[in-house]
Amino acid sequence: MFTPFREGAVDVKALIATTERQVQAGIDFLVPLGTTGETPTLSNEEKLLVFNTVKEHAAGRPVVVGVGTNSVHGTLANMELLKDADAFLVVVPFYNKPPQRGIYEYFKTLALATDKPVILYNVPGRTGTNCEAETTLALARDVPNIVAVKEASGKLDQIYQIIEGAPAGFSVLSGNDDETLDVMKKGAHGVVSVASNVAVREMADFVHAAQQGDWKLAGQLNERLRPLFKNLFVEANPIPGKAAMARLGLMENSLRLPLVTALESTEALIKETLNQLWGEK
């Protein structure tokens, strides 16, 4: 989920509206305080505000919160701060460039410190380190409350290896919208999506069709959404996405430094993309 801002502060009214919009459109679970939410720029007070607001308006949907940092101490502190979450999304530690055995021990330590479900998040394009399939599978086998991985490595062979080797009850979730159809055809369970902020009903229908094995409908919806998947990443996420949300009247086009608003060329591309989806916006 995007974190909406107004005059530099969290825009609670817009956050409520976007939460309720996702719920009404059939989203299965909500994920505030991830990369898309500009979480590194939020204070602890703001993290609590965002979480509590989403939880209050989630209508019973599970709320999965991003808590990852590049230290065990920092991540445990976030887990304590957000202890009322239904599950924790934990990114591979960034900047440190740990070896695979360090990644394993890091996640094992965190998971043993909570009785909540833990979802691994592998996004080497942001963290600088890839969590290899063998490491993910070892954690899935060895630690009962590590229940899923959000895989955004872009390494399809690696993702397929995880799907094939995963123990019963372990879910593989796409971390890239444009790979969702391919990985779900191989047995992945869904997606933690950026595009669902913008086209939530279409994304919910797309993933539900794939879950039900209706590959014809899933393929049609994937083709319809493909330009959105691509164009939300022509600049760093969430820059194009916030431009789209502003054009839809859902929040101000406001970001916190070091992120800035979209280039004029991106704004024009987003306008064209939304028009292709729904007509003039």
116 noted as active-site residue: no
- Alpha carbon 16 to its chain centroid, in Å, reads 18
Compute the distance between CA of residue 50 and CA of residue 60 in angstroms, rounded to an integer: 16
Compute the distance between CA of residue 119 and CA of residue 164 in angstroms, rounded to an integer: 18
Which residue of the set 150, 160, 216, 281 is catalytic?
150
47 noted as active-site residue: no
Which residue of the set 47, 106, 121, 242 is catalytic?
121
Q: Which residues contact 34 (CB under 8 A, 6 or more apart)?
A: 1, 66, 89, 121, 192
Active centre residues (catalytic): 121, 150
